[in-house]
Structure 1
Amino acid sequence: MDSLQNRLLPIATKIGNQKFLVALRDSFIGTMPAVMTGSIALLINAFLVDIPTQFGWDAIVTNMAWLAGINSLIFRGTVSVVSLIFIFSLGVNVAKIYNTDRLSSGIVAFSAFIISIGNSVSSTFDISKVKGDLAGALKGAEGISIHGHQMEVTISGLIPGSDISSNGYFTAILIGFLSAIIFSKIMNKNWTIKLPDSVPPAIATPFLSIIPAFISLYVVGIFITVFNNVTGQSLLDWIYKVLQMPLLGMSQNIFAVIAIAVLTQLFWFFGIHGGNVMAPIMEGVFGVALLANLDAYQHHEAIPYLWTSVSYSAFVWYATLGLLIAIFWQSHNSHYREVAKLGLAPVLFNIGEPVMYGLPTVLNPLLFIPFLLCPAVLSAVAYGATYFGLVKPVTQNITWVMPPVLYGFFATAFDWRSIILSLVNLALATFIYLPFVKMADKQDVVE
């Protein structure tokens, strides 16, 4: 235990204190009010549209169309533009590092991201059934090109919706850091417009930001222009193909899913907040997968990813409840039973700290093996069930205090089979912990 702690603690401390990773983590967290609201709106629409449609309850769909329309608007203003929300949050959190004007930094990052993405929208139409000489009639028309039976229409001056959804996350991270760091460093060098002390701060502060914003945005603009001319494609498209898609693809490997679960739990064992340490990976990769699934579900498209950040919450992280069940079932250790009674209510709402530090499971050599084995087994079982189509992939972003079993049911958009999977995983966690709970009884007798 001491050897592991001596090796892991410095690594976890460095990761947890790395200022840019902290800014990235806090930026993801900063988007939660909007993302959670959009997710709830989508979940309500499942009750109003999807489920009634499956059972032929057309009256509900018709009568509640007004509310479904409102929910669609909310989704469009939150999850559908999540990259725009994130980039502003990132600009603000980078400014915290350098102790500069947060509002101006957020605005600069937002503007830089708009500079970096496309400014036209294209659609292709099949014109094979159109009578007459359509190609001749549209010859020379701006934004229209015809190739055989395919007509492509390009409208300039519009921001592509795909660029500001989850597809733009990795570009937003790169451009957000670049623009906000340049802005903040120049601010700290005092390359600013000086105004008399008599000028109110509300007026003086934006003027101080003009020169740093000017330099930052021009650096981004020049970089984007050179990149587009050299590669022949937008930065967002290039990052999506070269970086984002491969990373998301690797995250969907069962070994990656298990490794992240075990590593998160390993940090927790040594009293380090595993969720915070792993947040850049959990949200930057698996969180992006969740947003892509949300968007696909909203548009009734094929769900692209098997595993998301919420998949862990729905089917893995409630293993502590299995520990409490094992204690109530077989343990005679008075301390364990007392802590289990006090910790049951919080654990039912996914608050495991009372048990983690009260039992404790943290730095408890007796529970080290099941503490790591449970997330590995539960992740593997849930991933396998999703992979083989026994349970639908997670498509909903659910509040983290949702009780176990219900969590999976809501997260999979009301797939009843998720209830069975949740109960199976809960039983597995209970039986994995059971022999070690019995060992605690023997230890209690010896003491």
Structure 2
Amino acid sequence: MSKFQDVLNAKLLPWSEKLQGNKVLAALMEGFIRTTPITLGIAFITIIGNFPFPGWTQILTNAGIYDHVQAITNGATGVFSVYVVYSLAYAYAKQLKANERNAALISLASFFMLMPQSINTTVMQHGKAVTQSIGALKLDYLGGQGIFIGMLVALLITRLYAYLSSKKLVVKLPDSVPSMVTESLSPVFIVTIIFVLIFGLRVLFGLTASGSIFKFFVDVIATPLNSLATSPISIIIIMELLAVLWFFGIHNAVLQGPLGVITMTMIVGNITAFQHGKPLPYLVPGVVYGGIAAGGFMGAIVFAMIKGKSAKFRELGKLAFVPSLFNITEPVMFGVPIMLNPMFFIPQCITPLVTGFLSWGLTTTILPVSLNPTISLMPWTTPVFAKMPLEGGVNLTIIMLICMVISFFIWFPFFRVADNHEFEVEQANAKKQAMEATEA
């Protein structure tokens, strides 16, 4: 382990530091870190609202509370792309020495301008169901499905704003005008140019079959996966693709369609066979899916973070530990961050492959599993270590534990190197502050 960490320190860490020195990557990391209070703040309510207890959701619904839980969750994660756009544009503008607030607001406005602003709904008119278009924004594009487009908008619009600002395309006002008014009015020509380009982009994508850049992106990513059959290898391919896309900021929600079709096909098919006493048609794919999910359990790594050297990792570990037990990984993804951090590309992408093929091999050889597929319907916040014994007994539990342990040993060296690096940075900053205080 120590030799491997030495290799990471000697080879990967310098490369990672060099990449993080890039203004775009530095802005991405800062932008995502600044969204951490939202993901951590919502974790408690998310856990309470989806507590893994039979009938819990119905209890909250009968008490008139569940709708409010959903509203709070949607107000945070349901419009998370909005926070990403503003935070990322602000961070990138700071890197480019441009006006941060103007860049963030212009980027946010451009994001909304590109978005579909009507949805079709069915209403009753004269006793007949009629399709009607109403003005509305879809939470799908404001949430997970819009994160990647939001990232592109924030980076490109901010870069364009900074470039045009450097060309002095601003309205010059007298020095007597308050600075707040000057900052607001001076970029009016620049904003006009940007919004005209956004208009052209919206028209261009409106001519496609998708109708918008958001739908176009979802179609391009999701459609090739819709033809995949439900098999162990298809589960591994999709989960690996999810991991890679998630690293680059493309939320799992983009692939929710094809993934949802496959997982529901497995669940419904297995439950039907189980109720009729027949062999489960998707037993092995179900175990593979569970193995990869167990490999994605971050609780052990978050606990190791609590014991880390750096204050950053220790405090983040304390805050993210309980959410991680309930499969809420966003605080770690955005807080470390893992997303777009070169240090964590290898464990993020290799873990699903290893745990997928490992669980596939174990269940078809020395650890055959008998599933109770009805347990699959438990809430997604059900801890993996609590769900698996109920779903597959001893053998499935052993497979899941093996996948968790393997995942931990894949991730741990990279976290250790990152923690040591953060500790060195903190020590250097503390020494610098002490010297400045002494000089003062």
TM range (shorter): 0.5 to 0.7
In structure 2, do the counterparts of structure 1 residues 310 and 87 end up closer, same or farther at CA, with 3 Å as the change threshold? farther
Residue equivalent to 2:135: 157
Residue equivalent to 1:241: 219
Which of the residues 70, 73, 81 maps onto 2:71? 73
Residue equivalent to 2:297: 314
In structure 2, do the counterparts of structure 1 residues 218 and 76 end up closer, same or farther at CA, with 3 Å as the change threshold? same
Residue equivalent to 1:437: none
In structure 2, do the counterparts of structure 1 residues 410 and 84 end up closer, same or farther at CA, with 3 Å as the change threshold? farther
CA offsets, 1:316-335, max 9 Å, x none?
863996xx9xxxxxxxxxxx
Secondary structure of the residue aligned to 1:99 is coil
Q: Please tell me whether residue 176 in structure 1 is matched to residue 154 in structure 2.
A: yes
CA offsets, 1:336-358, max 9 Å, x none?
xxx99xxxx9999589xxxxxxx
Matched-pair identity in %: 18
In structure 2, do the counterparts of structure 1 residues 163 and 17 end up closer, same or farther at CA, with 3 Å as the change threshold? same
Residues 122 and 130 of structure 2 are in contact (CA less than 8 Å); yes or no, is this contact kept in structure 1? yes
CA offsets, 1:147-204, max 9 Å, x none?
xxxx662324222232222122222222222222111211233211122223322222
Secondary structure of the residue aligned to 2:119 is strand
CA offsets, 1:3-54, max 9 Å, x none?
887664554344322221232233333333223334432221123xx62516
Residues 42 and 75 of structure 1 are in contact (CA less than 8 Å); yes or no, is this contact kept in structure 2? yes
Aligned partner letter, 2:150: A
In structure 2, do the counterparts of structure 1 residues 347 and 378 end up closer, same or farther at CA, with 3 Å as the change threshold? farther
> Matched residues in 2 for 1:393 and 1:253: separation?
18
In structure 2, do the counterparts of structure 1 residues 111 and 373 end up closer, same or farther at CA, with 3 Å as the change threshold? closer
Secondary structure of the residue aligned to 1:78 is helix
Residue equivalent to 2:346: none
Aligned partner letter, 1:108: I
Residues 122 and 152 of structure 1 are in contact (CA less than 8 Å); yes or no, is this contact kept in structure 2? no
Shift of 1:311: 6.5
Residue equivalent to 1:91: 89
Aligned runs of 1:98-137 on 2, under 5 Å?
A: 98-123=96-121, 134=128
Residue equivalent to 1:357: none
Shift of 1:121: 0.4
Residues 303 and 317 of structure 2 are in contact (CA less than 8 Å); yes or no, is this contact kept in structure 1? no
Residue equivalent to 2:62: 62
Residues 86 and 107 of structure 2 are in contact (CA less than 8 Å); yes or no, is this contact kept in structure 1? yes
> Matched residues in 2 for 1:119 and 1:7: separation?
48
Residue equivalent to 1:269: none
> Matched residues in 1 for 2:145 and 2:291: separation?
15
> Matched residues in 1 for 2:31 and 2:196: separation?
24
In structure 2, do the counterparts of structure 1 residues 164 and 290 end up closer, same or farther at CA, with 3 Å as the change threshold? closer
Shift of 1:227: 3.1
Q: Please tell me whether residue 32 in structure 1 is matched to residue 30 in structure 2.
A: no
> Matched residues in 1 for 2:183 and 2:291: separation?
41
Q: Please tell me whether residue 284 in structure 1 is matched to residue 249 in structure 2.
A: yes
In structure 2, do the counterparts of structure 1 residues 428 and 213 end up closer, same or farther at CA, with 3 Å as the change threshold? closer
Aligned partner letter, 1:162: D
Residues 120 and 131 of structure 2 are in contact (CA less than 8 Å); yes or no, is this contact kept in structure 1? yes
In structure 2, do the counterparts of structure 1 residues 157 and 374 end up closer, same or farther at CA, with 3 Å as the change threshold? closer
In structure 2, do the counterparts of structure 1 residues 219 and 174 end up closer, same or farther at CA, with 3 Å as the change threshold? same
Q: How many residues align?
A: 333
Q: TM-score, normalised by structure 2?
A: 0.56
Secondary structure of the residue aligned to 1:51 is coil
Q: Which structure: larger Rg?
A: 1
Shift of 1:314: 1.8
Residue equivalent to 1:42: 46
RMSD of aligned C-alpha atoms?
5.6
> Matched residues in 1 for 2:34 and 2:117: separation?
27
Residues 113 and 175 of structure 1 are in contact (CA less than 8 Å); yes or no, is this contact kept in structure 2? yes
> Matched residues in 2 for 1:308 and 1:180: separation?
41
Residues 295 and 403 of structure 2 are in contact (CA less than 8 Å); yes or no, is this contact kept in structure 1? no
> Matched residues in 2 for 1:430 and 1:23: separation?
29
Gaps of 5+ in 1: 135-150, 262-277, 325-338, 352-371, 398-405, 433-447
Shift of 1:237: 1.0
Residues 83 and 168 of structure 1 are in contact (CA less than 8 Å); yes or no, is this contact kept in structure 2? yes
> Matched residues in 2 for 1:218 and 1:79: separation?
30
Residues 355 and 406 of structure 2 are in contact (CA less than 8 Å); yes or no, is this contact kept in structure 1? yes
> Matched residues in 2 for 1:416 and 1:207: separation?
64
